[in-house]
Amino acid sequence: MLLVLEGCRWCTTDACLEHERITLLHLKPFFVYRNPLQSWVEVKGSDCCKWEGVECNTTTRRLIQLSLISTKWEDNREYSMDNRNLIAWYLNASMFLPFEELKRLYLSGNAIGGNLENEGFGKLSFTLSNLEILDLSYNYLNDSILLSLSELSSLRYLDLSYNQFEGSSHLRGKLSLVRC
């Protein structure tokens, strides 16, 4: 009887889900340039719901918000398309698939230049059916990302301002989509 009770103690939902914690640790190297994310530790059982930039559902302990804002820029001075100090990198959006309850994803100011081929945001459309807010402002994104973003039908707010869109002139400056 004691063995059964002891085993159940390790099954509590006081911490985030282990596979989500591991996924966050896999994401960490891509977002530690300026912000070391020191609270993101590789200690088994560490509660990722208490980590910097992470918010979880208080009942299910699943991740519902991830804020990785401006992890790549040297400082927080006013953004300039001509004064970027990092080379763009390509995001593997499928790395966010384990976060099935994710509602808000903030990736502003990370020098993201696009998606890896066949690993775009469109791949998330079925799994991340709760994603309502996506902030990709202040990156290196161009027109090529628009098709994969169009598949995210649950979005209520999409911020693509200050990227490198070449289409119509309104895409060059601020572009935000708000659905009611």
pLDDT, tens digit only, all 180 positions of the chain: 444 444 444 444 578 999 999 999 999 988 876 667 889 999 887 899 999 999 999 999 999 999 999 876 554 434 444 444 557 888 888 999 999 999 999 999 988 988 777 677 878 888 899 999 999 999 999 888 888 888 899 999 999 999 988 864 444 444 555 554
- Write out the two tokens for 177: 């989509």
DSSP state letter for 156: S
Residue 7: what residue type? G
Rounded to whole angstroms, the Cα distance separating 83 from 16 reads: 39
The H or E element spanning position 26 is helix 18-27
Reported pTM? 0.80
CA distance readout (Å), 3 to 6, 14, 15: 5, 20, 22
CA–CA dist 44, 70 (Å, integer): 28
Q: List beta partners, residue 106.
A: 67, 135
Q: Under CATH, which architecture does the 18-74+87-159 domain have?
A: Alpha-Beta Horseshoe (3.80)
Residues contacting 146, CB < 8 A, separation 6+: 165
d(CA 34, CA 123) in angstroms, rounded, equals 29
The residue extents of the domains of the chain are 18-74+87-159
Q: Which two tokens stand for residue 155?
A: 């979005």
